[in-house]
Amino acid sequence: MDLPHQGYRATKPRARAAPPTADSVLFDDTSSAAPAMNSQGYYTPGYNMAGPSNDMQGGAGPNNLFADPMANAAMMYGSSLANQGKDIVNKEISRFMSINKLKYFFAVDTRYVMKKLMILMFPYTHQDWEVRYHRDTPLTPRQDVNAPDLYIPTMAFITYILLAGMALGIQKRFSPEVLGLCASTALVWVIIEVLVMLLSLYLLTVHSDLSTFDLIAYSGYKYVGMIFTVLCGLLFGSDGYYVGLAWSSCALMFFIVRSLKMKIIPSLSTDTMGTGSSTKPQFRLYITVVTAVFQPIIIYWLTSHLVR
Amino acid sequence: MAFTLYSLIQAAILCVNAVAVLHEERFLSKIGWGVDQSVGGFGDEPGVKVQMMNLVRSVRTVMRVPLIAVNAVCIVLLLLFG
């Protein structure tokens, strides 16, 4: 009988040409399983006459999916396995960090990203630096342009790695290991900076609502400055590099001081009680200023070898 | 200075080892950092020194046992891969 043979031939083009997005439509339409058996008689001569050049794969493919119970069962088994795996991964990850808190940092939209990049590069005209709250929970970045997010730092980090690879390639010093080295160096510096900030905030008993993710976000904003500096250096040579470095350093220092001042240094209204904050306010100011001064140093350190 | 993540892990292990080997009665009490010298100062008046002592004590308490395993793994890796 040519029916098994036809089933085999129908499997191969289906495996090659089945679009993944149409699968949900295929699986919902279980009513066509019965008529598919009837219509197979119609399609059989079509397949045999088409010969080795199987052009009509899309038309006959969907209906034959139901006629092949093995593929059907395999698909369902695979999707249930995938769901189980996803549940296990979610459970394990939520033991270390809460996914909801992470989702808050990635709730951005285009308008927020454009405004935030403008503020990072030119913060001198931005008036209101307060992070707005809504019944004790901070607003998502979509609604508040002052809220920290993790989307810009992540994208800027990846862009910086790609740009570093390109800059090294221009100088004919590129190899794939250098790319990995550059990436891990930048990541290690961010981790060191976040750890030092956490340690200093703990030692000086600064009770701020800066969580670890907030600090990672504020540390990651320097990658935007780094990208701008490297671009200036690549486009305009060594002089352009120093001009870009000066501009992005000043802008980033201003941004960090204005943003962290709101969070670390308490407002004057709560500071009027007697033994209010035992850590003198100058320590908090020191933390902010040292963080700000550290940014240009690290920008210079991580980008100077890219622009010679 | 090119860091890899492994060198960061090594540096972290070395630092935590250094904090964990500080002996309580032979050293910390002698320089006034013992656990019996940190009481006092109610209210929000801990101060930097008390916070440091608390940090040292908690690192030593928490990381004693896991450090044994982590150090053993690190030694084996160094022996195998240099």
- In the block, which residue shows the tokens 């549940």? A87
Which chain B residues contact residue A185 at CB under 8 A? 1-4
Same domain, A167 and A85: no
Task: Write out the residue range of the structural domain in which residue A240 sits.
Answer: 158-304
**pTM, 2 dp:** 0.69
Residue B70 pLDDT > 90, yes or no? yes
Query: Confidence band (pLDDT; 50, 70, 90) for A53?
Result: very low
Same domain, A214 and A187: yes
CA distance A141 to A144: 5
The last residue of a domain, from among A147, A172, A200: A147
The total number of structural domains that make up chain A: 2
Mean pLDDT, range A267-276, rounded to an integer: 45
Residue of B nearest to A195 (CA): B12
Least confident of A137-146, A181-190, A240-249, B18-27: A137-146
Residues A258, A127 contacting (CB under 8 angstroms) = no
* Cα separation values, B2 from A160, A179, A264, Å: 16, 11, 32
* Residue A133, SS3 per DSSP: strand
Residue to mutate among B3, B19, B54, with most A CBs inside 10 A, is B3
**pLDDT value of position B38:** 63
Query: Mind giving me the DSSP string for B1-40?
Result: ----HHHHHHHHHHHHHHHHT--IIIIITTTT--GGGS--
Same domain, A142 and A195: no
Taking every pair of C-alpha atoms in chain A, what is the biggest distance, in angstroms? 96
Q: What is the pLDDT of residues A276-300, one digit of tens each?
A: 455 567 788 888 889 899 989 998 8
Same domain, A92 and A197: no
Q: What is the pLDDT of residues A183-207, one digit of tens each?
A: 899 999 999 999 998 988 888 777 7
Q: How far is B52 from chain A (nearest CA, A)?
A: 7
Which residues, in sequence order, are CB contacts of A164 under 8 Å at separation 6+?
Answer: A179, A182, A230, A306
**pLDDT value of position A62:** 55
Within-domain flag for A96? yes
User: Where on the phi/psi map is residue A137: left (φ > 0), alpha (ψ -120 to 50), or beta?
Assistant: beta
Residue A210 pLDDT > 90, yes or no? no
R_g of chain A, CA atoms, integer Å = 29
CB contact (8 A) between residue A184 and residue B5:
yes
Q: Is A184 on the interface with B (CB under 8 A)?
A: yes
CB contact (8 A) between residue B44 and residue A189:
no
The last residue of a domain, from among A147, A177, A197: A147
CA distance A304 to B22: 40
Averaged pLDDT of chain A = 76
Residue A249 pLDDT > 90, yes or no? yes
* More confident: A307 or A280: A307
Residues A240, A306 contacting (CB under 8 angstroms) = no
CB contact (8 A) between residue A204 and residue B48:
yes
CB contact (8 A) between residue B46 and residue A191:
no
Same domain, A214 and A102: no
**pLDDT value of position B40:** 61
Within the 29-68 window of chain B, which residues sit less than 8 Å (CB to CB) from chain A?
43-48, 51-52, 55
Least confident of A24-33, A110-119, A151-160, B13-22: A24-33
Residue of B nearest to A277 (CA): B44
Within-domain flag for A285? yes
Residue of A nearest to B50 (CA): A203
Query: Confidence band (pLDDT; 50, 70, 90) for B57?
Result: confident
Which chain A residues contact residue B3 at CB under 8 A? 184-185, 188-189
Residues A99, A90 contacting (CB under 8 angstroms) = yes
Same domain, A143 and A165: no
Instruction: Indicate the helix (H) or strand (E) that contains A213.
Output: helix A212-220
Mean pLDDT, range A249-272, rounded to an integer: 75
Mean pLDDT, range A86-92, rounded to an integer: 84
Which residues, in sequence order, are CB contacts of A148 under 8 Å at separation 6+?
Answer: A105, A141, A213, A214, A217, A218, A259
For residue A49, count CB atoms less than 10 angstroms from its CB and return exposed for 0-12, middle for 13-18, buried for 19 or more.
Answer: exposed
To the nearest 10 degrees (0 to 180), the angle between helices B5-20 and B47-81 is 120
CA distance B44 to A159: 44
Residue of A nearest to B53 (CA): A203
Bridge partner list, A134: A137
**pLDDT value of position A279:** 57
Long-range CB pairs of A30-36, under 8 A, 24+ apart, other chains included:
A30/A66, A32/A63, A32/A66, A33/A66, A33/A67, A36/A63, A36/A64, A36/A66, A36/A67
Within-domain flag for A267? yes
